[in-house]
Amino acid sequence: MADDSDFVGHLVKFNSLSSGRDKLARLVQYASKFAWWYLQKGHFDPNIIIKLKNVDNALSTTRKVLRLGKSIDFLHSALRSIHISDTVLRLTITLSKINQACYLLFDHIIWAGRIGIAKVDSAKWKDLSARFWLVTIILNLIRDVYGMWTVIIEELRLRNERASKSHYGNGDVNHKYKTRHIPNDTEVVLSCFQESVPLILDFVRNMSDLVLPLAALKRINASAGVQGAVGVVSSVIGIITTWNPDMRLVPS
């Protein structure tokens, strides 16, 4: 009963977060995109395909509504991140927040044009929004790679320090014949990856999301199925990190 109570408590808390609802809607949106692409490729019932496309489009619009005002939140986060001591982290995180704020602001303009409350050049704003989204993801990836690099370098330094010190004190006449395992570089790197789950999750999420703005800008030829698949992967990771704060990359 305690486990059931904890699960329900987590579920209520997750559902109370706007970010949690947005990530659930995003998961269904991209799952729908992949589903209609797959059914269309297999020449299934056109009515089902149309319904799934309607779900995809409806959730896309719904998510734009859920994110209204989020650009202000990201600008506020950017003001906090300028105090991070590490220069690379400070620059990448702050610039990422600013770009994301701009991307969401342009997204609001697209939404206003989509529902008819304003006359806008949708193609122009979609292109501009995708460009800022792309820059945001690139900055996030730089932050992820830098984070991995610093962790690995630190672990290699500690490994070398431990290897240079004897674990056996004076008076142990047999210490020359005792051996101890010193991990090689590959083992250290693998160990770093295993102990840096939030960093790896963030890297996979950003690599998955990278496909989406590149496809929107027509820099790559990605089918609706590919976009749906990578969108599902990044959405699942987003749900995991929202559900379990220990899986969230900090600072970010």
Q: Which pLDDT does position 115 carry in this prediction?
A: 84
pLDDT digits (tens, 9 = 90+) for 145-159: 999 999 999 989 888
Q: Which pLDDT does position 54 carry in this prediction?
A: 96
Q: Which pLDDT does position 45 carry in this prediction?
A: 92
Q: Which pLDDT does position 17 carry in this prediction?
A: 72
Is the pLDDT assigned to residue 177 strictly greater than 90? no
Q: Which pLDDT does position 122 carry in this prediction?
A: 87
Distance CA 121, CA 167 (A): 70
Q: Which pLDDT does position 174 carry in this prediction?
A: 56
Mean pLDDT of the chain: 88
Report residue 98 as tokens.
């600013």
Is the pLDDT assigned to residue 2 strictly greater than 60? no
Q: What share of residues in the chain are helix, strand, coil (percent, to 5)?
A: 80, 0, 20
More confident residue, 144 or 8: 144
What one-character-per-residue DSSP string does 140-190 give? Answer: HHHHHHHHHHHHHHHHHHHHHHHHHS-SS-TT-TTGGG-------HHHHHH
More confident residue, 173 or 250: 250
Q: Which pLDDT does position 1 carry in this prediction?
A: 52
pLDDT digits (tens, 9 = 90+) for 222-231: 999 999 999 9
